[in-house]
């Protein structure tokens, strides 16, 4: 059963980019819903700390508001009061990072064979045009700033999808530092007893950093999606648009796609 897709013509490239845009839009819709929940969670915490009217705060100025509230007297003197329930925070983090991971796959994967992504489209496009001399229109040259966005997607995708040696080294160093800084509490690592800590709360700074990272991520996804649409208009030959009609129900018919995809993947 064939598992690798070989690109040979313009129509196949159109199919690839069309599917990428469709899926990015689907995932980005859910992402924006969760993103709004995250911003609302941060606004509630800002109001709790400063008693400020947060109704007019949006993601354009929330980072400034976070910096301001971190200098508030209540924040400094009663910091421990503003910790967040661990499961409440992790539920928010898990939700938004799960769909972000799906977007990272579509925008940051650089697998040349077997990986569907916007990068793959650009790679196969250049290959067909330059190496196989297929008659294709010129695409817009990507700016250095835009390529840096793609590089961030690639780096984030690899970091989040793997327990890398780099992570392992840092965790090992952290455990050894615990022993050094807490003599008598931590005797050695590894030990015959393995401690896997659980927590009741997280400090509010976890919420602040999640907001910061997702503000940047949302901007990056939006910019790449706009470029994908430009590329699609060029290769398709006419101005494109995306329609997102509402349907009453997502039925189980799509299970067949997933099941067949699994069977094909497993050969």
Chain center to CA of 45: 24
Q: Is the per-residue pLDDT at 71 higher than 70?
A: yes
Q: What is the mean pLDDT of residues 48-58?
A: 91
Output the pLDDT for position 256: 65
Phi, psi of 228 (to 5 degrees): -60, -40
Phi, psi of 229 (to 5 degrees): -65, -40
Record the pTM: 0.89
156-170, 180-194, 233-247, 252-266: which has the minimum mean pLDDT?
A: 252-266
Structure tokens at 12: 């196949």
**Which helix or strand (DSSP H or E) is residue 201 part of?**
strand 201-202
Helix (H, G, I), strand (E, B) or coil at 173: helix
Q: What is the mean pLDDT of residues 251-262?
A: 66
* Within-domain flag for 172: no
Domain with 38 in it: 10-163+201-265
* Within-domain flag for 190: no
Q: What is the mean pLDDT of residues 169-181?
A: 89
* Within-domain flag for 239: yes
Closest to 68 (Cα-Cα) out of 43, 40, 89, 34: 43
* Within-domain flag for 251: yes
Q: Is the per-residue pLDDT at 261 higher than 90?
A: no
On the 0-12 / 13-18 / 19+ scale of CB atoms within 10 A, 28 is buried
Q: What is the mean pLDDT of residues 225-253?
A: 90
Quote the CA–CA distance of 7 and 125 in Å, as a whole number: 9
* Within-domain flag for 189: no
* Within-domain flag for 97: yes
Work out how many domains the chain is built from and give that number. Answer: 1
* Within-domain flag for 195: no
């Amino acid at each position: 059963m064939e598992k690798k897709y070989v690109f040979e013509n313009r129509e196949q490239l159109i199919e690839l980019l069309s599917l990428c845009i469709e899926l990015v839009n689907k995932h980005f819709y859910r992402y924006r819903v969760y993103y709004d929940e995250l911003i609302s969670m941060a606004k509630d915490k800002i109001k709790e700390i400063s008693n400020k009217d947060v109704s007019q705060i949006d993601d354009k100025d929330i980072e400034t508001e976070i910096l301001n509230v971190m200098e508030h007297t209540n924040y400094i003197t009663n910091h421990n009061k503003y910790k967040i329930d661990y499961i409440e925070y992790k539920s928010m983090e898990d939700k938004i990072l799960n769909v972000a991971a799906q977007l990272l796959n579509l925008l940051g994967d650089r697998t040349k064979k077997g990986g569907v992504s916007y990068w793959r489209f650009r790679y196969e496009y250049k290959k067909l045009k330059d190496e196989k001399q297929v008659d294709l229109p010129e695409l817009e040259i990507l700016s250095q700033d835009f390529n840096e966005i793609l590089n961030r997607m690639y780096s984030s995708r690899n970091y989040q999808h793997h327990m890398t040696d780099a992570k392992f080294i840092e965790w090992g160093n952290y455990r050894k530092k615990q022993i050094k800084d807490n003599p008598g509490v931590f005797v050695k690592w590894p030990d015959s007893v393995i401690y896997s800590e659980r927590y009741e709360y997280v400090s509010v700074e976890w919420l602040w950093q999640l907001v910061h990272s997702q503000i940047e991520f949302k901007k990056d996804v939006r910019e790449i999606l706009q470029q994908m649409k430009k590329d699609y208009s060029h290769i398709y030959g006419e101005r494109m648009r995306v329609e997102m009609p509402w349907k009453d129900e997502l039925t189980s018919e799509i299970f067949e796609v997933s099941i067949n995809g699994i069977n094909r993947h497993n050969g």
